[in-house]
Amino acid sequence: MQPAGDAARVTAALWWGMFGVSVLVTAAFTALWLYALRTRRETPDMAQQRRTQRRLMIGGGVLLPVTAIVVLLGFGIPAGHGMLPWPDDGTAPLRIEITGHQWWWQVHYPDAGVTTANRLHLPVARPVDLHVRSADVIHAFWVPRLGGKIDAIPGRSNVLRLRATETGVMRAQCAEFCGLGHAHMAMDVEVMAAPAFEQWLSQQQQPVARDSAHTEGRAAFRAHCAACHGVRGVAPQGSGPDLTTVALRKEGLLGWLQGHDAGFSAPGVPAHRALVPARQPAIVAWLESLP
């Protein structure tokens, strides 16, 4: 566990606390068990037996669980409280909308009007409110190093507040079984310094440069891919992931595209191998020239 955010740090502390208590409880019960194994000659009288039974029932059946639950809630409630979108204390949280799809994540920054896919960029040290929803089945959004985990449910929006305290790239993973591609439904989360984040965001608002070396690939993309996939300034966002920065996310894009259907195909997604194999290299070369 390497917490990189407030919520993750509290969760990690809670986990270590629970681990410590469970070690103590295991040791105590082992000691009781060993004590009970000792053979005893004398038979205690009935009154003595009843007293012991009552003490065990009240102590082990009422006092121990009540204490354990109260202590756990004492730490657990503030931990959960910190992940709720309460009115802010001066620093306006950044709103980001995240939509789970079979099997990819769409990321939308409504204030900047920027939409990306499968990579979440966050500013460090600033609270972000992640409005999580789903376009199809139930998914769950989870960045272990930032803490929190929230279901993406069709037809509703769940809000999770996180604040990253370290810059770097970490992994997010869908945490609810959502079909064949569930295990692959991951994305990178890049926590950036505030100026770098602002620069990245304004860069995402610019259309991609027109490069005369790749006019064929660009035309082929518009003809064969743009019905589903967007590229900033070339094709609007469709039902599939935006591909403006896909070359940053996927190494060996051509090989991946050709083998893409072999692993799994999502419901309603056409087979990609069937999409004009002859023009794939030009499309990929253009996409690789974009970021």
Burial class (CB in 10 A: 0-12, 13-18, 19+), 157: middle
Q: Which is nearer to ligand CUA, 100 or 144 (CB)?
A: 100
Q: Which is nearer to ligand CUA, 3 or 100 (CB)?
A: 100
Residue at 217: amino acid letter: G
Distances (CA, A) of 285 to 219, 229, 242, 256, 261: 12, 16, 17, 13, 20
Rounded to a whole number of angstroms, the minimum distance from the CB of residue 116 to ligand CUA is 18
Q: Which is nearer to ligand CUA, 174 or 231 (CB)?
A: 174
Burial class (CB in 10 A: 0-12, 13-18, 19+), 95: middle
Q: What would the two tokens of residue 285 be?
A: 């070369």
Rounded to a whole number of angstroms, the minimum distance from the CB of residue 117 to ligand CUA is 14
Distances (CA, A) of 253 to 210, 238, 283, 288: 21, 20, 10, 8
Q: Which is nearer to ligand CUA, 254 or 269 (CB)?
A: 269
Residue from 89, 156, 157, 78 nearest 127 by CA: 89
Rounded to a whole number of angstroms, the minimum distance from the CB of residue 79 to ligand CUA is 24
The DSSP bridge pattern shows strands 186-192 and 128-134 to be unpaired
Edge-to-edge strand order for the sheet containing 119-123? 119-123, 186-192, 168-173
Rounded to a whole number of angstroms, the minimum distance from the CB of residue 128 to ligand CUA is 21
Rounded to a whole number of angstroms, the minimum distance from the CB of residue 234 to ligand CUA is 28
How many Cα neighbours within 13 Å face the side chain of 138?
7
Q: Which is nearer to ligand CUA, 136 or 216 (CB)?
A: 136
Q: Residue numbers of the site for ligand CUA (CB under 6 A)?
A: 100, 103, 139, 174, 176-178, 182, 185
Rounded to a whole number of angstroms, the minimum distance from the CB of residue 148 to ligand CUA is 16
Q: Which is nearer to ligand CUA, 75 or 177 (CB)?
A: 177
Rounded to a whole number of angstroms, the minimum distance from the CB of residue 171 to ligand CUA is 14
Q: Which is nearer to ligand CUA, 129 or 151 (CB)?
A: 151
Rounded to a whole number of angstroms, the minimum distance from the CB of residue 113 to ligand CUA is 26
Which residues have CB under 8 Å from 39's CB, separation 6+? none
Q: Which is nearer to ligand CUA, 182 or 232 (CB)?
A: 182
Place of tokens 């591609």: 181
